[in-house]
Chain A
Amino acid sequence: DIEVTQSPSSLSASRGDRVTITCRTSQSIGSDLNWYQQKPGKAPNLLIYGASNLQSGVPSRFSGSGSRTEFTLIITSLQPEDVATYYCQYSDNTLITFGQGTRLEIK
């Protein structure tokens, strides 16, 4: 089975900061990784699919990069409304796994 490690588990940053969240997989998954944002009390929201494709309606300050075993979600200028937990997700054939989540707070 492919294992995923998402880091950090939590972070605190200031408004306007550049924020980076990473997911690493134990085997290559090509570009088949997706990112979600879950605000407190809400359902998750798809941000990035296929490692780097911005989902419609998502602000351009969000971007994704990476391939094979290392992937990154970047928020270029952190806004107060970005307070949320972020998850990566991949599929190993028809078995789907979410990362452990990264809780993002504003200082």
Chain B
Amino acid sequence: EVQVVESGGAVVQPGGSLRLSCAASGFSFDDYTMHWVRQTAGAGLEWVSLISWDGAVSSYAGSVRGRFTISRDNSKNSLYLDMNSLRIEDSGFYYCVKDRQFGFASGYSHPMDVWGQGTTVTVSS
């Protein structure tokens, strides 16, 4: 079964740090771009970051650029999101998501075909 499972969500104070992890299985992890997408309570979806299959290309939403770092370990079929200088508005449900497209192309629309169940990040004093 193709699946991704997130972990690492927690309650953290403003200004704090957190690392989210995602374990992938059932597909060739090192062939696909991976994403983090978040959703705040009662709100819509916000794309956070992507990383290409080989880790050579990464991209971030403006709201997290300079504070969050995406990485992957293909030997462990794992994706990570290091979150620093956390703000209250970073609170939400974080999804690990697989890109549908094999490989990577910057001009591609990046449809996302496998979503985890998410992990909750709460930034509160």
A interface residues with partner B (beta carbon < 8 Å): 29, 32-34, 36, 38, 43-46, 49-50, 55, 85, 87, 89-91, 93-101
- B106 near A34 (CB under 8 angstroms)? no
Stretch from B8-16, B22-30, B115-123 at the A interface: B115-123
B70 to chain A, nearest CB (A): 12
Complex A-B, nearest 6 residue pairs according to Cβ-Cβ distance, in ascending order: A32-B109, A49-B111, A94-B59, A43-B115, A96-B47, A34-B111
- A50 near B106 (CB under 8 angstroms)? no
* 29 intermolecular pairs with C-beta atoms under 8 Å apart: A29-B109, A34-B110, A36-B45, A36-B112, A43-B115, A43-B117, A44-B37, A44-B95, A46-B100, A49-B100, A49-B109, A49-B113, A55-B111, A55-B113, A87-B45, A91-B108, A91-B109, A91-B110, A94-B57, A95-B47, A95-B61, A96-B35, A96-B59, A97-B47, A98-B44, A98-B47, A100-B44, A101-B44, A101-B45
- A94 near B44 (CB under 8 angstroms)? no
Q: How many residues of B contact A (CB 8 A)?
A: 24
Query: How far apart sit A32 and B117, CA to CA, in the bound complex (Å)?
Result: 26
Query: How far apart sit A96 and B118, CA to CA, in the bound complex (Å)?
Result: 19
- Indicate the member of B35, B45, B117, B118 with the most A CB atoms within 10 Å: B45
B6 to chain A, nearest CB (A): 10
Give the contacting residue for B106; candidates A43, A45, A49, A93; CB below 8 A: A93
